Amino acid sequence: MKTIISEKLPRILKNKKRLEKILNIKITNRGKEVNISGKPEAEYAAEKVIDALNFGFPFSTAVFIKENDFIFEIISIKDYTKRHDLERIRARIIGKQGKTLKTLSNLSQCHFEIKDNSVGIIGSPECIKNAQESIISIIKGSKQTNVYSHLEKHQVKSVEDLGLKDK
């Protein structure tokens, strides 16, 4: 049984039945504590999905972690810059009317979400490395066009299924 402290408890409780069905776990809560019980693999996946929901990802995107074997990563902006005007760095990541974030999402095939001074990324293990590098380079001050061209040159080729994965 795992216990997670959740700030966005209503989002989890609203989707409780669907989460229990998809993740094969039992969810109980007391206050802001969310208790997860089930098989260890299911608990781990549920913990990642609930962390993604707490971070601010929509339910449909957070469930990708379990359904598609995606990974959830968090990058702290403060780890990669010494600048104190973090609003400006967040604005560079988001872009004008969200255009930079949308373009990064399309090129890297990952989902992004920004909360406080952190950037959350959900994506396949092959694609998440490029997504992290692109966000870090924008934080460090690279031009967006240079980051886009780097992502275009280093597109991840789709992995051929050899029939080893469970469906």
Residue 94 binned pLDDT confidence (cut-offs 50, 70, 90): very high
- Please state, as a whole number, how many other Cβ atoms lie within 10 Å of the Cβ of residue 142: 14
**Rounded alpha-carbon distances, angstroms, from residue 128 to 37, 81, 108, 112, 113:** 29, 21, 8, 11, 14
The phi and psi torsions of 119 (rounded to 5 degrees) equal -120, 125
Q: And the tokens for 12?
A: 């989890």
Specify the pLDDT at position 107.
94
| Domains observed in the chain | 2-67 (3.30.1370.10), 71-153 (3.30.1370.10)
**What is the predicted pLDDT for the residue at 157?**
75
Q: What is the mean pLDDT of residues 8-26?
A: 90
Distances (CA, A) of 166 to 3, 69, 128, 163: 29, 11, 22, 8
131 neighbors 113 (Cβ within 8 angstroms)? no
105/99 Cα distance (integer angstroms): 10
Which pLDDT does position 6 carry in this prediction? Answer: 86
Confidence of residue 56 (pLDDT cuts 50, 70, 90): very high
Average pLDDT of the chain to the nearest whole number: 90
- Over the stretch 112-160, which tens digit does the pLDDT of each residue have? 999 999 999 999 988 999 999 999 999 999 999 999 999 999 887 766 6
Categorize the per-residue pLDDT at 164 as very low, low, confident or very high, splitting at 50, 70 and 90: low
Alpha carbons 53 and 142: distance in angstroms, whole number: 30
Residue among 5, 116, 81 nearest 50 (CA): 5
Instruction: Give the per-residue pLDDT at 166.
Output: 63
Among the listed residues 98, 80, 92, the one whose alpha carbon sits nearest the alpha carbon of residue 146: 92
pLDDT for 90: 94
d(CA 66, CA 61): 10
pLDDT at 80 over 70: yes
Closest CA to 90 of 146, 129, 139: 139
When pLDDT is cut at 50, 70 and 90, the band that residue 71 belongs to is very high
Q: What is the pLDDT of residue 32?
A: 87
